[in-house]
Amino acid sequence: MRAIVVNEFGGPEVLRLDEIATPRPAEEEVTIDVEAAAVGLIDVLFRRDGLRGVLSLPFVPGIEVAGRVREIGEGVAGLKVGEPVVTLSNPSTAGYAEVAAVPASLVVPLDATGEDSVAGRVSAAAAVGNVPNLVTALAVLEDAARMRPGDDVLVLGASGGLGGVFAGVAHALRAASVTGVVSRASRIPEAQARGFDDVVTVDQLTGLDSRFHVVVDPVGGAARSAALALLRPLGRMAVVGNASDEGQVVVGTNDLWIGNTGIIGLNIAGLLSAEPERAATLASRALNLLHHSDVAQPVETLPLDHATEAHRRLESRSVHGRLALTP
């Protein structure tokens, strides 16, 4: 089968189209005929250095796919060959390929049941561009940050693939307000289009009068430091990424005590790997949102052999919404 293979760490040019053996499902796995593979900043980090040793060479990037079930491994129940599915985030998905092997616990049927059904209404690209990030946003807001109806929410990286999804999800969870933060003024219209009530730049954070019950941070660095000062008493920051690639922001536990604030991290692939029983409920709620609320993000598709271009665009921060590769 055709796949994008990384044989050496480096720039976007190390993403090479190759012919490799088609995977077969191991126990508790299925294989999927891939129709769309999501491209996210995490793929860039894996490509640069294997995320400091998490992945070893060679590997096929891509942690989320949508398509049709091709083959079912031992011990898998509840999935049918040929049915349309999307996967949740999984670092070993190897999604930039014609066929991907995936743990069955992370595979979500798209023609499941009744009113949650989105088959025929959501393309593979829309499913893979939305469902995994909706699952992450739900887990971040409800399970990690314990957001409640009436809360004021601040989201960094508001024009990004993950950050942008929080506007719709926080509104669906009945936030009183959702403010987005972008890196520069030219990105404000992009974030406004994603549904934020208000959009400010990172530079404006220090002058902001508003205070927030919940801050969501996929960016890190200077933006994280500025946003921490904007938490209300008993406010919670959810740390969900480090898109700025700046170093660690160090916070003393005594500062949390004196300041009446909390910080919690969430990495969805790690959480679902440690507690796979969370996946089905989160996925069902994500599909419900996609079906009934105005949460869908724009997803642009590129052919599989344009993986290098996809990474270049992501790194130059010129993507609107999400990118997906189609084999």
Asked if 179 is part of the footprint of ligand NAP (rule: CB under 6 A), the reply reads no
Minimum CB separation of residue 74 from ligand NAP in Å reads 29
> How buried is 36 (Cβ within 10 angstroms: 0-12 exposed, 13-18 middle, 19+ buried)?
buried
In the bound state with ligand NAP, the residue whose beta carbon lies nearer, of 5 and 181, is: 181
Minimum CB separation of residue 233 from ligand NAP in Å reads 26
Minimum CB separation of residue 327 from ligand NAP in Å reads 21
**Number of residues near ligand NAP (by CB under 6 A):** 29
Residue from 84, 129, 168, 218 in contact with ligand NAP (CB under 6 A): 218
In eight-state DSSP terms, residue 140 is I
**CA triple 161-165-169, angle to 5 deg:** 165
CA–CA dist 49, 78 (Å, integer): 37
In the bound state with ligand NAP, the residue whose beta carbon lies nearer, of 187 and 236, is: 187
In the bound state with ligand NAP, the residue whose beta carbon lies nearer, of 67 and 157, is: 157
Residue from 87, 130, 183, 261 in contact with ligand NAP (CB under 6 A): 183
Strands 177-182 and 152-155, sheet pairing: parallel
Cβ neighbours of residue 263 under 8 Å, at least 6 residues apart? 228, 236, 237, 238, 239, 251, 256
Asked if 144 is part of the footprint of ligand NAP (rule: CB under 6 A), the reply reads no
Residue from 47, 187, 306, 313 in contact with ligand NAP (CB under 6 A): 187
Asked if 223 is part of the footprint of ligand NAP (rule: CB under 6 A), the reply reads yes
Residue from 23, 25, 40, 180 in contact with ligand NAP (CB under 6 A): 40
CA–CA dist 80, 121 (Å, integer): 20
In the bound state with ligand NAP, the residue whose beta carbon lies nearer, of 60 and 319, is: 319
Question: Measuring CA to CA, which residue among 116, 122, 124, 17 is closest to residue 69?
Answer: 124
Task: Extract the tokens encoding 197.
Answer: 């009530």
CA–CA dist 161, 118 (Å, integer): 21
Asked if 241 is part of the footprint of ligand NAP (rule: CB under 6 A), the reply reads yes
CA–CA dist 226, 203 (Å, integer): 9
Residue from 243, 272, 286, 289 in contact with ligand NAP (CB under 6 A): 243
Question: Measuring CA to CA, which residue among 140, 122, 144 is closest to residue 131?
Answer: 122
Asked if 62 is part of the footprint of ligand NAP (rule: CB under 6 A), the reply reads no
Task: Extract the tokens encoding 56.
Answer: 């070893």
Q: Which stretch binds ligand NAP (CB under 6 A): 17-25, 74-82, 106-114, 261-269?
A: 261-269
Task: Summarize as ranges the residues that interact with ligand NAP (CB under 6 A).
Answer: 40-42, 136, 157, 159-163, 182-183, 187, 202, 218-219, 221, 223, 240-244, 266-268, 314, 317, 319
